[in-house]
Structure 1
Amino acid sequence: MMPEMFCAADLRSFNTFGISEPAERLVLVDNEQQLRGALALADREGWPVTLLGGGSNMIVAGSVRGLVIGMRSRGRRVLRRGQGSAVIEGEAGENWHRLVGWSLDQGLHGLENLSLIPGTLGAAPMQNIGAYGVELCDLFDSLDALDRTTGEVCRFERDTCRFGYRDSLFKQQAGRFVILRVRLRLYTQPAPRLDYAPLAAAWQATGLARPDSRVVSQLVCQIRRSKLPDPAQLGNAGSFFKNPLLPPEQAASLLATWPAMPHYPQGDGSVKLAAGWLIEQAGWKGHCRERVGVHREQALVLVNLGQARGVDVMALAADIQRDVQAKFGVALEMEPQLIGG
């Protein structure tokens, strides 16, 4: 049975940047049957389809044509538990942060560094979300996705997802696959990852000798809240630009000029730079315009100062990209997905 369809639906409450733009049509689906019905209707009518999770990693750049499908499926479970690890499964519409808390309640460890990341479980593999030294792919087991070209539900193991830095097969082939549920392999004993310096310092300050995943989760939440604005208070899409990955020669040249530049050598020989540092050095931290700005505490975050439109956000982003390119010769890539317009 098809769920109710809303016409000319305002998407403001469906995206964390708080941009008010209309969706031509909107349906919220709770299960695979409703999803298939909505997709079948869109195919019959020739409507383009836009999938919507938590709306935390997208910018609405104008009215959205066709059909917007909001994934609202719920459910989470421990599939199996072994001596050292366990596999959990959750439906695509599950809130990510609540899933992290639930996993800790089950005595399972590994997701604590990814606490307080906004969005849904189904969207997490698309972006290969990561924070404080951990990426989703580190804990990924498998997922089920509906292939819109065949109508079949396919199982994807870790090696077939083409995970990269904020990237995956599902992002590379956007629109083809609809993620239905995700399975993660977690630890039955604490295995803290404290590589990120501020997190390591915060842990050291607790004076605790034994690893405690719940404490790590709390510390991660504190750090995130100190640096990133709450979308409920100040609309934003989190980190707006990816941290650029440079060839070692280009990174070495930049470091010769900017020896204090934060840089992180990668396993493949490339060097990751901190996009927020580049933006701050280019003079954009705390910049305000009429309706949009750059957060005063974290230059990597663009914020809605009131009634922002997608064109306002994209104009500011383009100006930042231009100045960083001119100053450092580094091209910043936008992280959120752009829809509408």
Structure 2
Amino acid sequence: MQIETGVSLKSFNTFALPAVAHTLIRIEAPADVRRVVDHPEFGRAPKFILGGGSNIVLVRDVTACVLKIEIMGRRVLEQREDAIIVEAGAGESWHGLVAWTIEQGLPGLENLALIPGTVGAAPVQNIGAYGLELKDRFESLDAVDLVTGRTVTLDAQACRFGYRDSVFKQALAGKSVITRVRLRLPRPWQPMLGYVDLQRKMDETGIAEPDARQIFDWVCAVRRAKLPDPAVIGNAGSFFKNPVVTPEQCRDIIARDPHLVHYPMDDGNFKLAAGWLIDACGWKGKTVGGAGVYDRQALVLVNRGEARGAEVVTLARAIQESVYGRFGIRLEPEPVVVG
């Protein structure tokens, strides 16, 4: 456990927003969390859990004790007849884990390639892309309670996964630290190719039965074409959740805007493309101070140079008001505003 004071968080958040952590503790093992809980100064102090910083907007300096999760390691834990179970430390790069499974000949996570952030953050957000969500591959996780210091193991039911949601954003928000995550890669493997972008890749290449490596490469190529690299231009990926509406709401919007991009869901409702809604309101390329809407994907807000967190929040609220005014839809941000 390493304790640092007055740490700049600009390089620890993918938006590259300026902020300082009054106290930052590097968590390199589950035992470090228990040491924090038992610490005479930090045990009862408010805490902020920081992974890869890809899903936060820092508005001001962080006075809570920042726990920087750096628990590493990945391994094949178990090989069953119906699945392979892999385990990774919460501090591992999520994309790094996906790439590692492909290199090991372990398919199943390829649709989730190139999603920024850490393994420990993935269950919190129930990350998803191209027809797959983390919950579809989830086995269990270990977490340490920030009050008692006890380690608990949670299965999918206990995690209460929802669309970009979990118990860690609800009842357990800020109350526990995820330390290790186990994922279930099903046997036999079946490719998931239902999304338009992947169908287009199949048509372009003439590959009708791609393997996991090919799908991984396609997903990476599509994401790189649409989304800016945080190392080049600060951003937090998709800024808003795709809203879910009833069939009646969907029909009403289509009657006014026939080109609405929408997807049917298993429960009969429809998921609307938030990026399309934002673009239809004319926001692509617009700026507020140093914050802007990415000119190639309206769903992404970016730091055009010296943006501050307050400018990002102001821009996001203006977009929300605009979309609600035109479509009657309330967009919900994905990143957590800190400060």
> Which category of TM-score, normalised to the shorter sequence, fits these structures?
over 0.9
Structure 2 match to 1:9: 7
User: Where do 1:94-173 residues align within 5 Å?
Assistant: 94-173=92-171
Is 1:30 the counterpart of 2:5 in the alignment?
Answer: no
Structure 1 match to 2:313: 314
Is 1:195 the counterpart of 2:194 in the alignment?
Answer: yes
Structure 2 match to 1:63: 61
Instruction: Determine helix, strand or coil for the equivalent of 1:180.
Output: strand
Post-superposition Cα deviations, 1:92-121, rounded to whole Å, max 9, x if no partner, equal 101111100111122111100110111100
Aligned mates of 1:257, 1:78 — CA distance in 2: 52
Structure 2: gaps of 5 or more residues: none
Aligned mates of 1:74, 1:263 — CA distance in 2: 39
1:88 pairs, out of 86, 89, 99, with 86
| Aligned Cα root-mean-square deviation (Å) | 1.5
Query: 1:206: how far off?
Result: 2.3
Count of residue pairs the alignment pairs up: 338
User: Where do 1:202-221 residues align within 5 Å?
Assistant: 202-221=201-220
CA gap of 1:265–1:43, structure 2 versus 1, over 3 A, is farther
Query: 1:270: how far off?
Result: 2.0
Instruction: Determine helix, strand or coil for the equivalent of 1:13.
Output: helix
Post-superposition Cα deviations, 1:26-78, rounded to whole Å, max 9, x if no partner, equal 12111011222223337656421000000001111111112101000101111
Question: Does structure 1 conserve the Cα–Cα contact (< 8 Å) formed by 2:233 and 2:302?
Answer: yes
Structure 1 match to 2:18: 20
Is 1:232 the counterpart of 2:197 in the alignment?
Answer: no
Which stretch of structure 1 is more off in the superposition, 267-276 or 216-225? 267-276
Amino acid at match of 1:203: M
Aligned mates of 2:24, 2:158 — CA distance in 1: 31
Instruction: Determine helix, strand or coil for the equivalent of 1:77.
Output: strand
Question: Does structure 1 conserve the Cα–Cα contact (< 8 Å) formed by 2:288 and 2:311?
Answer: no
Question: Does structure 2 conserve the Cα–Cα contact (< 8 Å) formed by 1:190 and 1:212?
Answer: no
Structure 2 match to 1:283: 282
Query: 1:190: how far off?
Result: 3.9
Aligned mates of 2:66, 2:33 — CA distance in 1: 11
Amino acid at match of 1:296: D
Instruction: Determine helix, strand or coil for the equivalent of 2:67.
Output: strand
Aligned mates of 1:20, 1:255 — CA distance in 2: 41
Structure 1 match to 2:331: 332
Amino acid at match of 2:323: V
Post-superposition Cα deviations, 1:245-278, rounded to whole Å, max 9, x if no partner, equal 1122222211221121011121222211110000
Question: Does structure 2 conserve the Cα–Cα contact (< 8 Å) formed by 1:240 and 1:336?
Answer: yes
Instruction: Determine helix, strand or coil for the equivalent of 1:298.
Output: coil
Aligned mates of 2:297, 2:74 — CA distance in 1: 34
CA gap of 1:62–1:213, structure 2 versus 1, over 3 A, is same
Q: Give the structure-1-normalised TM-score.
A: 0.95
Structure 1's consecutive aligned runs of 4 or more residues displaced over 3 angstroms after TM superposition are: 42-46, 187-190
Instruction: Determine helix, strand or coil for the equivalent of 1:80.
Output: strand
Q: Give the structure-2-normalised TM-score.
A: 0.96
CA gap of 1:65–1:21, structure 2 versus 1, over 3 A, is same
Amino acid at match of 1:252: R
Instruction: Determine helix, strand or coil for the equivalent of 1:198.
Output: helix
Structure 1: gaps of 5 or more residues: none
CA gap of 1:43–1:263, structure 2 versus 1, over 3 A, is farther
Amino acid at match of 1:27: I
Amino acid at match of 1:276: G
Structure 1 match to 2:253: 254
Query: 1:202: how far off?
Result: 0.6
Instruction: Determine helix, strand or coil for the equivalent of 2:61.
Output: coil
Aligned mates of 2:40, 2:315 — CA distance in 1: 34
